[in-house]
Structure 1
Amino acid sequence: MFRRLDDAISVYGQLLPADVAEAKAQGFTTLVNNRPDGEEAGQPEGGTIREAAEAAGLDYHAIPIGHGGFSEASVAAMAQVLGEAEGPVLAFCRSGTRSTLLWALARSTMGDSGADLAEKAAGAGYDLGPIRGHIG
């Protein structure tokens, strides 16, 4: 179900409020929503997922990545979440791709090598090609 990038983070497509219990059961402590509200009809609002996360005792962060792409602020926010999380993080968007790319950009600013990040992403079925020139 969730795609593991490494011990600290996994990614997923659109998380539903009902999926929060499964995330908790699998040991995640933090959820990161990388999907802007209203991106697609029928998509649950971030506030609904936030409520489910808080009810389950999980930390919740919204770092939406829309059509404008990644910004320094979104990369810094993701690096901060990764650095402060007190257990495994589950990041989600529509397919898991934006979450993976944002994770790689953030980890690169934290000193991880581009080759290691690319290998981890590929192991979960994601390609860092679109950002390869921006990671170490």
Structure 2
Amino acid sequence: MINAFIQRALLVLCLSCATASFAQDSQALNEKVSVSGQMTTDKFSSLIKQQKFKSVIVNRPDSEAGNEVTVLQLRGIAEKSHVSVVYQPVQSGKISQTDVKEFAKYYNELPKPILMICRSGSRSTSLFNQAKAQGLLND
């Protein structure tokens, strides 16, 4: 009886986590920028329409293993909504100071809100946090 209760509780917890994860297509870093992980054309279209992003920075290289869409596909979708797309590919775990400065330049110049895209959201978040910590973002 206790085992069945625990199993049901774990199942409910797992389903809740999966639903919350699925529902959260992007995560806001501040009021001007959000990050998102693995992208599909449907997910991207939905984010552009629902969140009303004005710019997108793609940090995931087109050639990275497991990437399901190219920047050209994303740009085609974005242009229909008059959304700017910048391709700034950054290798996972190898963010350079040049990458940080280039991101800061885009962040400061692009219309906001901005959506940043990579595999999991971590590399884009790291770019943002490093630029912010270095005082490179005009907020």
TM-score (norm 2): 0.71
| Structure showing greater Rg | 2
Percent identity at matched positions? 29
Q: Identify the match of residue 86 of structure 1 among 111, 114, 120.
A: 111
Point out 4+ residue stretches in structure 1 off by more than 4 angstroms: none
The question of whether the paired residues in 1 share the 8 Å contact of 2:104 and 2:136 is answered with no
Whether 1:19 and 2:40 are equivalent positions in the alignment is no
Report 1:1-136 matches (<5 A).
Answer: 1-25=25-49, 26-41=51-66, 43-67=68-92, 69-110=94-135
Bigger Cα displacement from structure 2, 92-101 vs 42-51: 42-51
Q: What SS does structure 2 have at the residue aligned with 1:6?
A: coil
- CA-atom RMSD, angstroms? 1.9
Question: Deviation string for 1:16-58 (max 9, x for gaps)?
Answer: 2223332222121111111011212452112111221122211
Task: Note the residue ranges of structure 1 that are not aligned, 5 or more in a row.
Answer: 113-136
May I ask how many residue pairs the two structures share in their alignment? Answer: 112
CA distance in structure 1 between the partners assigned to 2:78 and 2:40 by the alignment: 10
Of 91-100 and 11-20, deviating more is 11-20
- Relative to structure 1, the CA distance from residue 97 to residue 68 in structure 2 (aligned partners, 3 Å threshold; closer, same or farther) is closer
- Please state whether the residue corresponding to 1:38 is helix, strand or coil: coil
The structure that is helix-richer by fraction is 2
